[in-house]
Amino acid sequence: MMKLLTWITLAAAALAGPAAAQDYPTRPVRIINPFPAGGSSDILARLIAQGLSERLGQQFVVENRAGAAGNLGTDAVAKAAPDGYTLGVSTSGPLANNKLLYKAMPYDPEKAFAPIMLIGEIPLVIAANPQVPARTLKEFVELARAQPGKQSVGHPGNGTIGHLALELVKSVTRTDMLGVAYKGDIPAMTELLGGSIQATSAPVSAFIANIQAGKLNALALTSKSRFPGLPNVPTAQEQGFDIEATVWSAMVAPAGTPRAVIERLNQEANRIIASPEGRARLAQFGAIAIGGPPERLASQIAGDTAKWRRVIEAAKISIE
């Protein structure tokens, strides 16, 4: 009799997951975005939320919890109940890089989350003032080698992906460039347009218009392949430098969220970014749709953590 009861219990548990996923969601779901409203991360979160609301018949509501470079809101996702009713849309900073930069992190991104999907990525651009006598990254590297420490390169701030990418460029090319930290992409671009610095290393989004207008020269993109918005700009890899750096957005759930729920969210989110509207919205911010299974995101987090650990330790970068 006991064996029969045990078998019935196990059978019921096995059937509960798929049944629960089929019914999910039965009430509103919140999506925490760890950055201020109006930014690219927030708009991507709202794109996903709107699509899921339409497809799954329940309201997906975006909640902004900004602070600590994205760690505050991302930690709220990590500590939420793993029932599928609290999700997160975050970026490569809180999900990979910040772990290596901050001395005290409230969560471990490789253990605290159940990956759902990579949404998209934005490549970085190395851009120069037109007065700089270099039209490619290769030529800029030659200038830096001829005048060590004289070529100033701005970035959006200490520990940002633009800063990390600059340190990677310096390491790979074995050059001495002067890094200049700003409080965001726009201040760095303003100084570059004015000629106060020679170049910048930052996500391409804010720079596209000025590059297209000829006000800035794009020396290289740091993506694996050319960026559709700037098809004539070669990648760093095309110029012989093993440099790849992007800022990516992803959707996650608390660790322990049922696999069947994760798979359903993954399936629907993939359909959203594959739609013409989804791709168009991503393109507005210089982002390229990625998608794929949850394992692709897990691999991205692990790969970025290993890559940037080497760069951060070599450059001795830290944030209090």
The pTM of the full predicted model, rounded to 2 decimals, is: 0.87
Q: DSSP assignment of 218-272, as one string?
A: EEEE-SSS--TTSTTSPBTGGGT-----EEEEEEEEETT--HHHHHHHHHHHHHH
pLDDT at 17 over 80: no
Task: Report all structural domains of the chain as residue ranges with CATH numbers, in order of start.
Answer: 28-120+249-315 (3.40.190.150), 123-239 (3.40.190.10)
Q: Which of 208, 158, 205, 203 is nearest to 183 (CA)?
A: 158
Cβ(107)–Cβ(78) below 8 Å: yes
Mean pLDDT (the chain, rounded): 92
pLDDT tens-place string over residues 274-297: 999 999 989 888 899 999 999 999
Cβ-based neighbour number of residue 215 at 10 Å = 15
Mean pLDDT, rounded, for 65-72 = 94
pLDDT at 16 over 50: no
pLDDT at 5 over 50: no
β-strands 199-203, 288-289: how paired? unpaired
- Classify residue 68 by its DSSP letter: G
pLDDT at 18 over 80: no
Residue 21 binned pLDDT confidence (cut-offs 50, 70, 90): low
Residue 6 binned pLDDT confidence (cut-offs 50, 70, 90): very low
pLDDT tens-place string over residues 111-162: 999 999 999 999 999 999 999 999 999 999 999 999 999 999 999 999 999 9
21 versus 86: the higher-pLDDT residue is 86
pLDDT at 234 over 50: yes
**Cα 313 to Cα 35, 171, 176, 179, 302, distances in angstroms:** 26, 12, 17, 17, 17
Question: What's residue 212's pLDDT?
Answer: 95
Element (H, E) at 152: strand 152-155
Q: Which of 68, 79, 65 is nearest to 108 (CA)?
A: 79
Mean pLDDT, rounded, for 287-316 = 95
Question: What's residue 132's pLDDT?
Answer: 97
Question: What's residue 39's pLDDT?
Answer: 82
Mean pLDDT, rounded, for 205-219 = 95
User: What is d(CA 142, CA 140) in angstroms, rounded to the nearest whole number?
Assistant: 5
Question: What's residue 1's pLDDT?
Answer: 46
Question: What's residue 141's pLDDT?
Answer: 97
β-strands 86-91, 29-33: how paired? parallel
Over its C-alpha atoms, the chain yields an Rg (Å, rounded) of 22
- Classify residue 96 by its DSSP letter: I
**Cα 61 to Cα 45, 144, 209, distances in angstroms:** 9, 49, 32
- Per this entry, what is the length of the chain? 320
